[in-house]
Structure 1
């Protein structure tokens, strides 16, 4: 490496240049490091150019030495006769380093320092909280198993298992503060789009039978006969979680909205947004609450539950329009075999007055959605026919998608007498009832304007369902193993932070990979320690995704050999706040 001065006479820069040979054999050079402005450096050496240049050449020599240490060949001696030391760990996960950098940028250390000012404890809350999150993402399990897993990280815990359990009450108590601070700090990583907020609820079960506190019997989303708790979750327009809370399993989901939304209005500085949810969370009271101030709402609306006269107006095939057109269309005239028609969405607007609220019901019709619903139903009818033809007692249908809803039981003769045996048939009347709704969908809103934008906003609701799926399936948030109320809240706090980290990581990678690809890669990124005196070698497969991770975060763990000193430098860098890159 050598020193070069570039620029005009009054605006020179001092650079370290690196000489190298191209693939074609020709020599070339490139900028390796900028030392500073020539005039500024010259002032530091009292105008003595020779001293300044001597210092610059020393820096070039140092960088040359470091470069050779980092890129030179190494040799490690092994003995065929020597066994590895007893109980010495040789394999470590490095996937957590990318998560650690995200935690650093979220200022979790600062959040924990603020919390410590309000509590009396001696353990390292930041280390415990972040380790619980890493374990939830990389190897989801119980708190005990998570503590054991963290021993496989490059930085094993310096706290005890008892410290983990003690910290849970603090994490639970500070849940609202942690959420609001994470929301504010997440803007350093990715500008939050809070113009639209989506809300939904799900529930998580416990493998117990006795109710207590918030663990109550309620309508389980998974039809399990266990006590449950309910989680309400807000996410922003980009699918990134915003806030959550936990409620008793038997509480009406409609009543969970206002307390959590009030926290967002107060603590998150969000006051102008469009609230979007499904019909189960769109009661008149919730719609009225979201018509206050500068808020609005878009909520799915059940056509089946509408009053008969209102439903007939909504499903009347006349006065529909193609999105972007003012021309009225009668749906009965459509040739749904035409590809353009098949892929087009048609809509009609129906004014609705609910108390003192003026609303608009937007009914959409899609031939493609109609075909999809019929395919699903045909498979369910086929399943129902198999059930009928299978000997044995027939069970009752448990939900609206159960094939048994198409099975009709006849227990009397046409004359009204009690039959000798029960007869099961396909219920054609039930099929016809469902067919009348094929292709139709409705939302109710107090917004006026672009219908296509309203439809687009509502379509994004699938992302909040995916958030729940990630927590339940990928992060194994259920069944819940902890029992105390504060520990339950802390458990979901770590699941929530894990989801936030994952979504932010997904955005940093440009939404280019699936959840299974990202999590599978992070979980597989293991390093093998050759011996305590040398360093590490990667024992994972280098892929396009690992390259993307390294490029995005600015460090690499895929060199053939990494010294222990180099690894310590990488770890240190993941704990430093980085300036925002353009």
Structure 2
């Protein structure tokens, strides 16, 4: 490192000189100056403070013999490490937060209000906590204040965090923030919004009872987490084909998938996105929902239930035709029905999945056959014993016990979650394999049925577009595992909505980071958490220094378009 001087000439001809602390580095075969710290104008430097700092640095390095002039009455001392906190991951998230304009969106929404605390910084701290070290809001406040470096944020108390959450979901605030963030991200990332993928999930509350008040969120309902014993909320998520989440919704836990499409359509239509094709799974394929998605020039691609579908779905599956090879494990066939001219039906077939379906069914039928044989053998043994008892008692007719073990086995087999579907029961109560159903299922091996109202997309585009619906499912997995969306401990509806929105913002930031670096967030987080900010302090002053970075760190920041953290910062000198 060395001291570097620069100058600037004013309009009146005077020259102003500046002093900088710099180092040289080689870039593309040439040497360039890398400014570490701007010390200020040369004519306004506090030379005594700089001398005291130099003396402390010399003592820290062990060079006690170096003679550095110090003002009388000032007692110098070595610099000591007083703190070391992770910086890298939060620095990247903060850069993306500002790059996407989230800070400006929040400032615009909250512009008319005045607060003693920085609401935007408090919200960013909560979002960063979800992405880096998810925990409760109380623990997140302590984490942001003591365990990590949040640029521009001071002490964040627990009440500040809850106040910021309440403001985030205030009247018109939530939709305004989501809209501003979406358009900023769309312009920055050049997002393709011609296909919007929508899906829902549920998340539950631990050790809580359902609310009985009208309009309350915490209700019992169909749990996609298989926790029907706990109250829950339903969460909707819209993502682009690149996996970027563009909007989220929170509904009561007893909300049906069939009842939310109209609101989703209305909310997205308010953004005036132009021509949009909405992609949903079979849970949203009701006729009313499809009609809603097709209104106002919109279109849809939806999965259709083959086993419980409509007569039109059955008619489409029965049509003959030749499959078109799209990829190694995907073939498609388009079918049109005279009874439904405005809709196209796409039958997709995966040969590899068909083999797996066939093998799984054969294994289940084999298990059923063995169990039925065992039950028959047990029944024969019981009958033999009953006849022997009748003969000894001089009875003409044997009496079978009502609680014979094979009766319990038959009930268990009939009620089995996967094997029971292949059974039929006679009028006498006997079980047997439903061969007709097995044959029908064999015709559906490896197949799934799609319907679309778009007249221009090819059958291949429809099939591949539907496969991208997995991005919505992947987003939910990330929210539940990486971001710890569940379980939820909040009781107030606004706090519940704010918690979901914070997870959505965190998901947005990490998806942008993943897309720009082609790395998983787990890898990015692990690498960047090795960058620390070390605080040195002594009688001469205070200095914050960033630990040495690697080529991997530089590639991550460069790919995301975020500048590296300053090597030296926070320089303060003793008075």
TM-score by length of 2: 0.72
Asked if 1:520 is matched to 2:526, the reply is yes
Distance 1:230 1:61, change over 3 A: closer
Give the secondary-structure state (helix, strand or coil) at the position aligned to 2:484: coil
Post-superposition offset of 1:321: 3.2
Alignment of 1:168-567 (within 5 A): 168-173=165-170, 174-212=173-211, 213-224=216-227, 225-266=229-270, 268-307=271-310, 311=314, 313-316=316-319, 318-323=320-325, 343=329, 345-351=331-337, 353=339, 358-374=342-358, 402-405=417-420, 416=428, 431-449=438-456, 450-509=458-517, 512-529=518-535, 533-536=542-545, 538=547, 542=550, 544=552, 547-550=555-558, 552-556=560-564, 562-565=567-570
The answer to whether the 8 Å contact 1:352/1:359 transfers is no
- Tell me, which stretches of 5 or more residues in structure 2 are unaligned? 25-31, 38-56, 63-76, 375-404
Deviating runs (4+, > 6 A) in structure 1? 58-66, 82-86, 378-389, 391-399, 425-429
Question: Residues 196 and 276 of structure 1 are in contact (CA less than 8 Å); yes or no, is this contact kept in structure 2?
Answer: yes
Answer 1 or 2: higher relative contact order, Cα 8 Å, separation at least 6.
2
Structure 1: how far apart are the matches of 2:221 and 2:284?
A: 16
Question: Quick one: distance in 1 between partners of 2:256 and 2:244?
Answer: 25
Partner residue in 2 for 1:153: 148
Query: Does the C-alpha gap of structure 1 residues 440 and 295 become closer, same or farther in structure 2, counting only changes over 3 Å?
Result: same
Shift in alpha-carbon separation, 1:497–1:384, aligned structure 2, 3 A: farther
Cα separation, partners in 2 of 1:475 and 1:64, compared to 1, 3 Å:
closer
One of 78, 100, 104 as aligned partner of 1:106:
100
* Whole-Å separation in 1 of the counterparts to 2:321 and 2:166: 58
Measured in 1, the distance between the counterparts of 2:139 and 2:371 equals 43
Cα contact 1:128–1:164 (8 A) shared by 2: yes
- Over 3 Å counting, the alpha-carbon distance change for 1:242 and 1:68 in structure 2 is closer
Q: Does the 8 Å CA contact 1:352/1:358 hold for their aligned counterparts?
A: no
What is the SS of the residue equivalent to 2:60?
Answer: coil
Contact kept? 2:347, 2:447, Cα under 8 Å: yes
Once the two structures are TM-superposed, the CA of residue 523 in structure 1 deviates from its matched residue by: 4.6
Q: Is the 8 A contact 2:223 2:232 kept in 1?
A: yes
The range that moved more, 106-115 or 490-499, is: 106-115
State how 1:564-575 maps to structure 2 within 5 Å. 564-565=569-570
TM-score by length of 1: 0.71
Task: Check the 8 A contact 1:353/1:359 in 2, yes or no.
Answer: no
On the 8 A contact 2:329/2:350 being kept in 1, the answer is: yes
Query: 2 CA distance for matches of 1:273 and 1:308?
Result: 28
Show structure 1 runs of 5+ residues with no match.
1-17, 19-32, 36-40, 325-339, 568-582
Q: How many residues align?
A: 482
Q: 1:534 to 1:545 in 2, by over 3 A?
A: closer
CA distance in 1 between counterparts of 2:20 and 2:138 reads 50
CA distance in 2, matches of 1:404, 1:538: 60
Q: 1:415 to 1:98 in 2, by over 3 A?
A: closer
Moved more, 306-315 or 188-197: 306-315
Select between 304-313 and 151-160 the one with higher mean Cα deviation: 304-313
